[in-house]
Structure 1
Amino acid sequence: MKRDYAAQEIEFPQAKLQWSAEEEGVLELYFEKKLKMSLEQAQEYYESLCKMAEAQEKNIFIYIDVSNIGGISAEARKYFAKAVNPRSRACALLVGSGISRILGNFLVGFNKPPIPTRLFTDKEKALQWLVEWQQKTS
């Protein structure tokens, strides 16, 4: 499928990627409730966010809402742990209770992301943390 990476938003069958309306330069990724993410989906989402940042010549400060996710395959977790783009700067993960918190702790604790990554339960605090990283790296 041909995508317009210069757009403000890209919709996938089970996810949405968009530039934040609240904070300049932050990409937001949302998943449908109970999504069980495959390696192929992980690759598609990551490739798209990299291309969106490239199209607007911006670094990648990504907010990912995993609060509703139903799971992520081991292959997808490994992919995210190793996926790094020269534009990648920081990642904030919004977790809820239950599986998303376990998943978030696993991603951050065991997979050791290549960029600063932190878990949040509040979107506003997550976005503020990303803005602080923007200021540190600009």
Structure 2
Amino acid sequence: MVAANVSSDVRIIVERIVTKYKVSLREDGILCIHVLNNRQWVPEDFKLLFQAIGEMVEFKRVPVLLSCEKFTFPSAEASAYWGNEETACPYVSREAQVLDSLPLKILGNFYMNFRRPKRPTRYFDNKEDAINWLHNSK
């Protein structure tokens, strides 16, 4: 995958590395979360991640673009934690995930059908379509 900010004309306001996540807030209000190479997502990281996100977005709800490097997958526990209304990040208003491999698409299908996230969530093959949806799905 490419870096989390798709358009070079959209400025990154703030960027942080939190455990295994590169988190970038774009000037258009989209928060990009990119899972770094060959690192599995685990719920233990989410408390630090959610606190950093809250600080970056001034504790407001924002649209999120989620992407990851090849061969990087969520653990079953992380998927359950992220998709649970009680434990999900409170600063995510809607979520676009870029799934560019068959294994990620299978996991994404499972997540949507069994976790049923309460916030609007869609999957895309590319970041351009994901960002367009985030801009137009208010």
User: Secondary structure in 2 aligned to 1:50?
Assistant: helix
Q: Which of 9, 13, 29 matches 2:15?
A: 9
Q: How does 1:21-60 map to 2 (within 5 A)?
A: 24-54=28-58, 58-60=60-62
Runs of 4+ residues over 4 Å off in structure 1:
none
For normalisation by structure 1, the TM-score amounts to 0.77
Structure 2: gaps spanning 5 or more residues: 1-12
Alpha-carbon offset, residue 41 of structure 1: 1.8
Cα distance between partner residues in 2 of 1:62 and 1:18: 10
Cα distance between partner residues in 1 of 2:89 and 2:17: 22
Cα distance between partner residues in 2 of 1:69 and 1:110: 22
Q: Which moved more, 1:37-46 or 1:10-19?
A: 37-46
Which structure has the highest helix share of the two? 1
Alpha-carbon offset, residue 37 of structure 1: 1.3
Cα distance between partner residues in 2 of 1:74 and 1:8: 30
Alpha-carbon offset, residue 44 of structure 1: 2.7
Cα distance between partner residues in 2 of 1:91 and 1:46: 15
Structure 1: gaps spanning 5 or more residues: 1-6
CA RMSD of aligned residues (A): 2.1
Identical aligned pairs, as a percentage? 27
Change (3 A) 1:69 1:111: farther
Aligned residues: 123
Alpha-carbon offset, residue 61 of structure 1: 0.3
Q: How does 1:1-138 map to 2 (within 5 A)?
A: 8-20=14-26, 24-54=28-58, 58-66=60-68, 68-82=70-84, 83-85=88-90, 87-133=91-137, 136=138
